[in-house]
Structure formats: structure tokens, C-alpha cells
A and B are shown apart, each in its own frame.
Chain A
Amino acid sequence: MHVRYFAAAAEAAGREEEVLDVDSDATVSDLGSALVARYGPVMARVVTSGSFLVDGLATRDPARRLGARVDVLPPFSGG
């Protein structure tokens, strides 16, 4: 599966994108846990407040199945 990281997610991962091996029935929640385990507390911030766009659809439903691509985008509010 293709994962793209944006803004603070890219900083936490140290990369803008990567290909991850995931189980065919893996969920958004599984991906969040895997990313926190891999990249630590900075990624935990992104996982708790950011959007996981599964093939272009934003979801906070942790049980949603993953797709071909997930974009991880944190919100921020600086003006």
C-alpha cells in the first residue's frame, strides 16, 4: 500500500511517502498503530488529530479497510 505523508506527518516519518506491506483486511486503526510504533510520539500527535484519506475519502472510522493509497494529513491552524 502506498502511504503519503504531509506536513508534520512527513516530518515525523522523515519521508514524504513509502510503500508498506499490510494485511489485506487491515484497517485504518491498524495503520495508525503501526505508524505510532514505527515513528513515535510525534506521529502519535498526527494520528490522533490528523486525517487518513483512504483513496481520497477522509475517515475517522478506525474500522475502515485500507485501500491502494492512504494520505496522512494533519490539520494546523496558524494564520
Chain B
Amino acid sequence: MAPSVDPSSRRFARQHVLAGFGLAGQRSLADAHVLVIGAGGLGSAVIPALAAVGLGTLSLVDPDTVDETNLPRQTSHGVADVGRLKVDSAADAAARLAPELQVIRHPVLFSTENATALLDGVDLVIDGSDSIDARYAANDAAAALGIPLVWGSAVGYGAQVGVAWDAHGIDYRDLFPEQPSDDGDSCELTGVLPMVCGVAGALMAAEAVKLLTGIGEPLLGRVAVYDALTGRTREVPYARDPARGAMDVAVGVDSAASGASEPDSEPGSKPSRPRTYSAPELAVALDGANPPALLDVREDWEAAIAELPGSTRIPFGELGARIGELDPSAPVVVYCHLGVRSAHALVFLEQSGFSQASHLAGGIEGWAASVDPGMKRY
């Protein structure tokens, strides 16, 4: 068994002389156990940083294996690691920097079911995963255990980083009260500039070290929002709503779409229209006597890979400007790659007076999986 981290090691000399940090701070790190959810883009910045700074024990939670498309931003993994479990590859990366670090690998999905068991003995949680489910599970479990959560997200050209610590009066639900029904913008859908993961991951690791050593002022009640295009980091201050408990009960998960009234319940609308089609349901409808029109809201490059025959295509970002090209009273089914953009497009169409619009849940990916196995996927 490897020896434990020695906080007085010469390796940490530049931290020993750091004002307010010193040997005491180094000892706090050597005694600490941090659990990191996600060994992806953010984890690839967080994990080596914590290993190198002199952390004592590190738990890694990630069910995924390394994919080629991960490599530009997930720099704890190399070309030779493709196909390996991310927790194994990341543990190797950490061991190169700190062979004494105790690493515990959990190749599982972090969830409300296993959260309490995984967090046993953990001092601080870092969530750098790409899952909204994991974010809320981590938030709620950390709150119940009274430990702090450092969270971050990176997508497109931007990142958000914050600290949730219910024992100090702030958690993630004070910023985003209700769990969204989908994962919102994701790297698969929107892309990601690799360096935003590095920026956000470094911010997250710094917050963790600050919390463990007691130095500085944590990002508590403030979200750091980084934009690589402007190079600016802006701050969103927030506090706990005194009416939070009552609000949680009064406002349901679907209230977010309240601006888009459910047309089925609206007087004068035709009650027969389903808002959502599964791929097999759509296949049946398209074979029927009055097939709905198809509206593809994906980009050119996506349509070049695969599309449903007879589709009208208006990329999601152009829908507002080109909505006049569509007939608001005609039955239309909106689709995209995975069903996220189309769901939002549907809300927009409804708000714009389209009474016969629906969308394809699961997108063209679901179509390829369950209706047309010969269709090219991406």
C-alpha cells in the first residue's frame, strides 16, 4: 500500500510560503477526502489539480469509458485510453502527479439512490458531471449531510461555477429552484470550446481548496459566469428566497412552460392533437390518411447525415425570423437530433399561435433506433 500524503514534503514548498495557507493548510488537504462526480472535461482539470496540490483521498464517480470525441477537452485521458473506464484513466493521471494519493474508483452513475453511500466519509463534493439528475442528487445529498458542494458546467463558449452549502444557507435550488425536464444545452448538442472546461475546472478546484483550508471567500451566493468570447467573468448574486418552501409546493416542475398553455385544455383548440409523438407513433401517423408535415429544426450539417423524407427545414436559431413561412393551422411535427431543440421549438410555435404543432420525442436518433435501423446516426 502506498504511503499517505506528507503535508511537510518539499513538493509543497510554494504553498507552505503562501500567505494564509502554510503547513496548516497543507495538513487540512492531506486529511481531506473529496468526491468528484464526472471524470470528463471539468474532472480532467479538477482531478490533476487536487492530486498535485496535496489532497489525501479522492473518490472518482463516472460510469463512462473514454471516447475519441472526449479527448480535446478531457485531457486527463489520452489517445491510448480510448475505450478504458474514465475513472481508471483519471486515476492513472492523478497517480503520475501524486503516487501517495488514495484514489477510490466508482464506475457508476451518481444518483439519489447511491448518493448517501458514496458520500460516506467525504468532506466535500465536486460535481463536474454533464447530468442535471446528478446535479440535483448531489445538491440534495450534500445538503442532507451538511457538506459543501462545488459545482460547475461548461458548454459552448461559457461556464458557470458556484458553491452550494445548505448549512450556510445557500444551495443549488436557490439558483435553479426546479429541476428542468431536460439537460438543457449539452456539449453533444451545442459543442464546447475545450478551454472553457480548463477555466471552469480550475475555478472549481480553487473553490474546493479554499473551502478545505478555510482561506478566502467562497463562491457562496454568487455564480461565476465565464464567457470565453469576451474573456469576461461576470457574477450573478443570489440569496435564498424566504418563501422558498411554499414556492416549492405551489409551483410544479412543468410551470416553466406555463407561458405555453397546453392547447389541449384551451377552449377552441382541437383536443385530438398529441403534443408529443414517439418514433413508432409518428411512423404510423405518416402512413395514415392525413399525414402531418415535418419541420426539421437542425443545422445543415446534421441534415446532410440523415433526415426524414419530405421535411421542411428551418434551423432552430432562424425559426423566429422565418416563422411566416409556416402555416399556423396545419398539423406539423417538429423534430431535431435528440428531441431537445424540437421541444423548445414546440413551445415557441404554441406561443406564436400554432394550434396543430407536435414534436418527435427522442428526435431522429430515436427514429433511427426504433423505426429505421438503416439510418445513419451521429
What is the interface of chain A, defined by CB distance below 8 A to chain B? Answer: 4, 6-8, 10-11, 16, 29, 32-33, 36, 39-42, 44-45, 47-49, 51, 53, 56-62, 71, 73-79
Contacts and interface: CB of A to CB of B under 8 A. Distances in A.
Interface of B: 38, 40-43, 128-132, 135, 152-156, 158, 160, 174-178, 180-187, 190, 192, 223, 225, 227, 230, 234, 236-239, 241, 247, 250-251, 255-260, 316-317, 319-321, 341, 344-345, 347-348, 351
B271 to A, nearest CB: 23
A48 B158 contact: no
Contacts of A62: 255, 258-259
A46 to B, nearest CB: 9
A79 B225 CA distance: 15
Contact of A32 (B128, B158, B187, B259): B259
Interface of B is mostly: mixed
A73 B317 contact: no
A45 B230 CA distance: 23
B239 A57 contact: yes
Contacts of A33: 259, 351
Contacts of B351: 33, 36, 44
B344 A41 contact: yes
B132 A7 contact: no
A78 B256 contact: no
Contact of B192 (A8, A16, A53, A78): A78
Contacts of A71: 236
Contact of A60 (B128, B186, B251): B251
